[in-house]
Structure 1
Amino acid sequence: MPVGLEAWITQIPPITRGWLALSVLTSLAVQCQIITPLQLYFSPRAFFNYQPWRAVTTFFYFGSISLDFVFHLFFFMRYSRMLEESSFANRRADYFWLLLLSSIMLLCLSPLFNLPFLSSSLAFVPIYLWSRRHPSTPIALFGLITITAPYLPVALVAFSWLLNGSWKAAAGDLVGCAVGHICWFFMDVWTREMVGGENFVSRTPAGLKRLFGDPY
């Protein structure tokens, strides 16, 4: 591996790096016909029929290697990394807890919206949360237009819609934005403007903090 590429990979925070590596390896395994997408998708019937791994693999398959794959993977990696380096700096357990809760919510919503693969949905959670926590940050989207951060998720969903030619292709992204909004509300708005204090989203279990070696 080239030194420059290796250095770039090691600079990515651990949670984002692990997610990125598993996603790339999963798509490469499908591309090389080692496994098939039929072995990865999530459905409640398959899950309860002694196939529990589907509740995990559904979050790592972004589709076959294509423009849509590169699009989702690039923006997920970029904003997940920025969020982990800023809001969750030295708080790996808190970031993992956010993604775990988001994954559980997405698994519950999957049958309602007929979403067998939830990777892009989960990827939009850190994108949405980062955009809400940096409301005044200008973003040059594709080098063509400049928007402020809160409009980023909407712009990316619209681009995904255009890229795939169907609103159904963007349904998973929209569900991800909805879950991201729920997490942002309980982590930021609820604790700041309403009853205050910690809640099930902002309070990371002590056991998870011990596992990651984070301070209590």
Structure 2
Amino acid sequence: MPVGIEAWIVQIPPVTRAWLALSVFTSLAVQCQLVTTLQLYYSFRSAFINAQLWRAVTTFFYFGPISLDFVFHLFFFMRYSRMLEESSFANKKADYFWLLLLSSVMLLVLSPLFNLPFLSSSLAFVPIYLWSRRHPSTPISLFGLFTITAPYLPVALVAFSWVLNGTWKAAAGDLAGCAVGHIGWFMRDVWTREMMGGKSFLSEPPVWLKRLFGE
């Protein structure tokens, strides 16, 4: 592997890097027919009644077959997850992992309502939404066509996903991710600061998790 690519990978923050690697590996495994999507999708019955617990994890790493939609979601997730981890969660690996873990649990609960067997794109919208809220005045150029401010980024990406897939149902997962991202932003930024609610398990990782990450 070229040194330039190795250096680029090493520069990606650890939580985002692990998520990216697992996502690419999962899609390649399906593409090479090492596993099938029927072995990876999530349903409450399969995961918890039939004791196929791995489905509650693999659902967050499969972005679909190698395609334009795959590249679209992976690019934006990696870009904004990296920027969020490098800024708001710099040297706070446990905090960022806790945010993603709680968001994953909420998405698993919401999954039956939206009929979502795969929740990778939904989870990817959580860091995008949180980053956009924490950088409200940042201008963003979308594909070099037009410029918007950061808070409108999730809406623009949901609309683009809708156009790319041709149906509104295709954007349901992205909307679920925005909803969970809003809850995460509210509990971490609004509740703890403006409403003086103080920190809680929804905004602060447990001590054992911090120790696990060496913090």
Q: Which residue of 2 aligns with 1:127?
A: 128
- Normalised by the length of structure 1, the TM-score is 0.98
Inter-partner Cα distance in structure 2 for 1:82 and 1:162: 26
C-alpha deviation, 1:192, in angstroms: 1.2
C-alpha deviation, 1:183, in angstroms: 0.4
Inter-partner Cα distance in structure 2 for 1:201 and 1:89: 19
Paired residue type of 1:57: T
Q: Which residue of 2 aligns with 1:96?
A: 97
Q: Which residue of 1 aligns with 2:36?
A: 36
C-alpha deviation, 1:197, in angstroms: 1.1
Inter-partner Cα distance in structure 1 for 2:148 and 2:32: 39
Inter-partner Cα distance in structure 2 for 1:50 and 1:105: 20
C-alpha deviation, 1:195, in angstroms: 3.0
Q: Which residue of 2 aligns with 1:20?
A: 20
Bigger Cα displacement from structure 2, 132-141 vs 193-202: 193-202
Inter-partner Cα distance in structure 1 for 2:196 and 2:18: 36
Paired residue type of 1:45: R
Structure 1 runs (4+) greater than 4 angstroms displaced: none
Gaps of 5+ in 2: none
- Normalised by the length of structure 2, the TM-score is 0.99
Instruction: Establish whether residue 70 from structure 1 lines up as the match of residue 63 from structure 2.
Output: no
Instruction: Calculate the aligned-residue CA RMSD, in Å.
Output: 0.5
C-alpha deviation, 1:196, in angstroms: 2.9
Q: Aligned runs of 1:54-203 on 2, under 5 Å? A: 54-203=55-204
C-alpha deviation, 1:200, in angstroms: 2.2
* SS of corresponding position for 2:60: coil
C-alpha deviation, 1:50, in angstroms: 1.5
* SS of corresponding position for 2:117: coil
Q: Which residue of 2 aligns with 1:6?
A: 6
Question: What is the total number of aligned residue pairs between the two structures?
Answer: 214
Inter-partner Cα distance in structure 2 for 1:10 and 1:148: 30
Inter-partner Cα distance in structure 2 for 1:169 and 1:199: 34
Inter-partner Cα distance in structure 2 for 1:52 and 1:86: 33
